[in-house]
Amino acid sequence: MGSISREKFVAKGSPLVPSDFSLAKEAVEISARFKDIYIWLSLIVLGIIVLIVLILKFTPHENYKWRNKAAIFLIAVAMVTAFYTKFGAIQETFSLELINLSQRMNYDENGMMLGFLLNAEYLKVQVPADYQESTIQQIIDTTKKTYSTDPNFKPNIIFVMSEAFWDPTLLKNVSFNKDPIPFFHSLQKSQTNGIMLSPVYGGGTANTEFEALTGFSTQYLPSGSIPYAQYVNKPIEALPTILQRQGYATSAIHTYDNWFYNRNNVYKELGFDKFFSKEFFNDPEYKGQYIRDTELSQKILDEVKETNQPDFIYAVSMQNHGPYSDLENPQNTVQCTDSNLSAASKALLDNYSNSVADVDQSIKLLIDGLKQINQPTVVIFYGDHLPMLGDDYSVYKEAGFINGDNSYQDYLNLHSVPFVTWNNFTTAKPTQNLRLSANFMGTYALQLAQKSGSPMTDFLSGLMQNGSDVVLPSEYSGQEKITPNEANQYQQLQYDLLFGKEYAYQSGENQKPPANTGYIQGDGKVTITNAAAANDALEISGENFVENDKVYIDGKLIKSTFKDSNGLSVSLEDLSKYKYPLKIQIELSDSMNKIISQSNVYQLSKK
C-alpha cells in the first residue's frame, strides 16, 4: 500500500486515500477502452503469479517457516482490526488529528497507515433508506426548474468568497469611531443582499466553497469531514461544468498555495478550465503574511478583459485570515468605542475591523473596474465563515452577541454571513434580506443570470420556491421550513450523485460530466518559442511565463531573470559551462516542490 501510495503521489500529487477504492468501477471502465494494455497487464500479472509460485516451490522449507509467518500475519491482522474498531478511543487518547489542508501533510505527519485510517473514519457515509433507481427517477421526474432562462443572454458570473469577511457592526453593545466597511454597506442599500448560512465557524473554508459550487450540503455528510479531502475524486456536475456547457470560460482564483484543501485536484473534477493560485501572481502586494485582496480583484478584472467568452470566475481570498492579534496596534484607524470588552478582546476586535476595512477597498476596486469594462456582469460577494474572535467565542460573548448555550439562536448568530450582489443589467427592484444556506448560492446565481442548471440545481430551485432554502444540522432542522420529505429527497439525490450509482444521469437529457482533460494551472500552456543571444544574455521568448518560473538547462537549474509573460533571460556568462546543443525547459514548482507547470523542451544549437 505504501508503494502504491507513493506512485499515486508522483503521478497525481496526492497519496492513496480510502475513497480511491470507490473508483474501482471507473478503473474497469477505463481499462476496457484500452484492450491491448488490458491484455498486457493481464499477462504481466499472470507472469508474476507464476514467478511467485516457482520461488515458493524452490525455497527450502526450513528457511521459510509457514506456520510462524501465518501466525504473525494473523496477529497483525487482528491488531489492525482491533485498532480500527477502537479507533475513536485511541484517536482521543493520543490526540491523533487528520490534517485536511493537504493529504501530503497528513501522511508526512501521521505516516501512511495512520493517515489512511484517519481518512477511513469519513468513509462511513450512510446509505439513505430506500435508495434505488426508481426513487431517484421519481425525484427527477417531479423536478422542474422554477425560473426562466435565456440561452442568448450570457452575463459574466463572478463569485468572491472573502476569507472570514463579516460585519463587526452587527455586534451588540459595541460602536466604532467610523464605519469599517462603508462600501459594502452602500451596496447593501442599493443592491440585492441577505444572509448566507455557512456550514462552518472560524475555519473550514472549503466546506462553504464545496456547498456553493456543487449544491450539495455537508449536513448530509459525516461530521468533521472535508469533501475536498475525502470525497471529490471524480467529475462532478458543479457550477463550472454547468456553465462550461453553455459557452462560459471557467476560472478559479485563489491567493494562496495551489495544494491548500486539495484545490489543485478538486478544481479539475469540478470542471474549471484553469486555476490561478499564489504561484502565478507576479510581484503581488502583501498585507501581512498574505497577498492583499486588491490583487485578487485586479486578477479578476484582468481575466474578464482577456477572455472572448462570458466568464464564470470563483475567487477565494486569503488576506483576512486569522489569527488576529490581541495586542493594540497604534496604526489602527478603526477603533471600537463604548464597549464593555476586556482589553484583549477590544484589541482583537480592533485588529479584525481594520483588516476587514482594507478588504472593503478591494470590493470597491472590483465593482469600479467592472463598471469601466461595461460587460453584463453579476457579482456575488460573501464571507466563508465568521472570524474566530478569541478562545471560546470570547469577543462574541462579551459583546452580548451570543449566550454560549448552544441554542438555535446562538447557532444562527455564529453561522450567518452577510452577502451582497451587484449587477449592471437588471432594472428590477433589489431584494433585501434574503436568507439562504451556502448550498443554495449556486442555484441562486443561475437564476440571476437566467442560465439552465442540472438535476441538483433544478431540485434546489424548487426548494427555494417553497421557502425551504436553509439546511441546518439535524438538532436545529426542525426550526426551519424544509420538510422531512424534502430533506429525504435532497439526501437521496446527493448520495446518488456523490457516492451512488448516478441514476440521475441515466435518464433523458441528463448527462454525466466528462473527464476534464483541458484543465490547466495558470493562464495557459507555458511555451518556449525562441531563444537567442542578445546583449550578453540568452533571451528566451514564449508565452505564459510568470515570475516564479525557473529555467533549466540540460535538466539543471540556472539563474534567470523574469521580464514579462513573454520573456526570460539567462546570462551568457552563466551558460559558459554548458555544451551546445542546449536543452532549455521552464518549470514552476509549488511550496511542496511539486511541478505544477512545465514548458516544452527547446533545443538550441550554437550558430
Contacts for 278 with CB less than 8 Å, ≥ 6 apart: 254, 255, 256, 257, 258, 284, 291
pLDDT reported for residue 60: 67
Contacts for 337 with CB less than 8 Å, ≥ 6 apart: 175, 176, 177
pLDDT reported for residue 34: 41
pLDDT reported for residue 8: 66
pLDDT reported for residue 106: 77
pLDDT at 328 over 50: yes
Rounded to whole angstroms, the Cα distance separating 426 from 434 reads 18
Task: Assign 3-state DSSP to the chain and report helix, strand, coil percentages, each to 5.
Answer: 45, 15, 40
pLDDT in tens, 361-373: 999 999 999 999 9
Sign, CA torsion 274/498/448/170: negative
pLDDT reported for residue 577: 86
pLDDT reported for residue 260: 94
With 0-12 CB in 10 A as exposed, 13-18 as middle and 19+ as buried, what is 369?
Answer: middle
Rounded to whole angstroms, the Cα distance separating 15 from 478 reads 40
What mean pLDDT is predicted for residues 114-120?
76
pLDDT reported for residue 14: 62
- CA atoms in the 13 A half-sphere facing the CB of 293: 27
pLDDT in tens, 17-35: 766 665 454 444 434 444 4
What nine digits make up the cell of 228? 475536498
* b/e burial code for range 279-296 (CB count within 10 A of at least 16 → b): bbbeebeebeebbbbbbb
pLDDT reported for residue 21: 62
> Angle formed by the axes of helices 441-449 and 205-214, to 10°?
40
pLDDT in tens, 447-475: 999 999 999 999 999 999 999 999 999 88
With 0-12 CB in 10 A as exposed, 13-18 as middle and 19+ as buried, what is 422?
Answer: buried
Name the residue among 87, 86, 84, 88 with its Cα closest to residue 76: 84
Q: How many CB atoms lie within 10 A of CB 107?
A: 25
What mean pLDDT is predicted for residues 558-575?
94
Rounded to whole angstroms, the Cα distance separating 475 from 441 reads 23
pLDDT in tens, 390-448: 999 999 999 999 998 989 999 999 999 999 999 999 888 899 899 999 999 999 999 99
Name the residue among 262, 350, 252 with its Cα closest to residue 296: 252
Helix (H) or strand (E) holding 571: strand 567-571
pLDDT in tens, 506-534: 866 668 899 999 999 999 999 999 999 88
pLDDT in tens, 46-73: 888 888 888 777 776 666 677 888 888 8
Q: Which amino acid is at 116?
A: F
Beta bridge partners of 316: 161, 254
pLDDT in tens, 199-237: 999 999 999 999 999 999 999 998 888 999 889 999 999
Sign, CA torsion 477/482/485/491: negative
pLDDT reported for residue 19: 61
Rounded to whole angstroms, the Cα distance separating 147 from 448 reads 9
What mean pLDDT is predicted for residues 320-347?
92
Mean pLDDT of all residues belonging to the chain: 90
Rounded to whole angstroms, the Cα distance separating 300 from 366 reads 8
Helix (H) or strand (E) holding 290: strand 290-291
What nine digits make up the cell of 538? 540568452
pLDDT reported for residue 29: 41
pTM of the model as a whole: 0.86
Q: How many CB atoms lie within 10 A of CB 4?
A: 12
Q: How many CB atoms lie within 10 A of CB 101?
A: 17
Contacts for 301 with CB less than 8 Å, ≥ 6 apart: 366, 369, 370, 373
Contacts for 321 with CB less than 8 Å, ≥ 6 apart: 163, 164, 290
Distances (CA, A) of 72 to 79, 80, 82, 183, 359: 10, 12, 15, 68, 60
pLDDT reported for residue 93: 74
Total H helices, total E strands in the chain: 21, 22
Helix (H) or strand (E) holding 423: strand 416-423
Share of the chain above pLDDT 90, in %: 70
Q: Are 526 and 597 in contact (CB under 8 A)?
A: yes
What mean pLDDT is predicted for residues 146-163?
97
- Domains of the chain with CATH codes: 2-33+65-123 (no CATH), 133-505 (3.40.720.10), 525-604 (2.60.40.10)
Name the residue among 317, 327, 339, 333 with its Cα closest to residue 385: 317
For 413, the 3-state DSSP assignment is helix
Rounded to whole angstroms, the Cα distance separating 7 from 377 reads 44
What mean pLDDT is predicted for residues 375-392?
96
pLDDT reported for residue 162: 98
pLDDT reported for residue 25: 44
DSSP summary character for residue 123:
G
Rounded to whole angstroms, the Cα distance separating 324 from 289 reads 12
pLDDT at 578 over 50: yes
pLDDT reported for residue 112: 80
What mean pLDDT is predicted for residues 94-106?
72
DSSP summary character for residue 205:
H
pLDDT in tens, 179-204: 999 999 999 999 999 999 999 999 99
